[in-house]
Amino acid sequence: MILSIEELSIASKEKNIVDTVSLSIKEGEWFALVGQSGSGKSLLSQAIGQMLSPNLKVTGRILFKDEDLLTYTQKDMRNIRGCKVSYIFQDYQGSFTPFRTIGQHLDEYQKTHGIKDKKERKQHTVDALVSVGLDETLSKRYPFQLSGGQLQRVSIAIALLLSPDLIIADEMTTALDSVSGHRILELLAKRQKETGCTILFITHDWRHVRRYADRLAIMKDGQIVEKGNKHRILDHPGHPYTKQLISAAPILGSGLRSGLGEVGHV
């Protein structure tokens, strides 16, 4: 297992927000964490990178390649985040500084992680943009000059820039229309196959779960209520909450409308 979460709890002064959660993710798989807003799935993902508010108390273990990340200092974690574990967030636009070009964002990211050679950083920037289907000339543009789909592609390029072992994608298509969201997920799936990375995919969209996930876990009120193989859960859900979520979802077999392949780039 590349990631094992054992008896993880996250608590405020008032209550446990995430309550004794345990799950394991295999190397190279696409693991979906599914639940409605407020279920605690995003807090769980932030705990992996030690990105939670200091007001929250975290107990349990988060084993990444058999090392407990909760024992790491913030200095240690800076070497983990980006290099070994990367994030793609829902609020990707908020990740960009408006007065810096796209190229400057990618260059600064590399400098932060110790890549000192300027020519090497420039080549990495070009390669990263091309790898997500963007023209290298976009490196000279500012974030407000790109579409939402293009910016999300840039965020994927940044997440993959240092060849991390684990990518945590937290509701990464929520702010996009269905066509753009489909293209972004297809891109991420393609890059996963090329790099062999593992994906923790946090979502509430069952259509994406059916299309991309290998295994999944269902989260409700801070607890995992069901987990296992995608086909088993989708075809034969065991927990009443899972049944409720699936019955309330759009028809899973319908997929996206035909002709998506004809839509222009985003």
SS in 3 state form for 16-47?
A: EEEEEEEEEECCCCEEEEECCCCCCHHHHHHH
Phi, psi of 224 (to 5 degrees): -85, 120
Structure tokens at 183: 């293209």
pLDDT at position 156 over 50: yes
Contacting residues for 212 by C-beta, under 8 A, at least 6 apart:
30, 32, 185, 189, 201
The string of pLDDT tens digits covering residues 213-263 is 999 999 999 999 999 999 999 999 999 999 999 888 765 544 443 333 323
Taking 70 as the threshold, does the pLDDT of residue 207 lie above it? yes
pLDDT in tens, 45-65: 999 999 999 999 999 999 999
- Residue-range domain boundaries for the chain: 3-250
Q: Output the pTM of the full model.
A: 0.88
- The CATH label, of 3.30.70.270, 3.40.50.300, 3.40.640.10, 1.20.1070.10, for the domain at 3-250 is 3.40.50.300
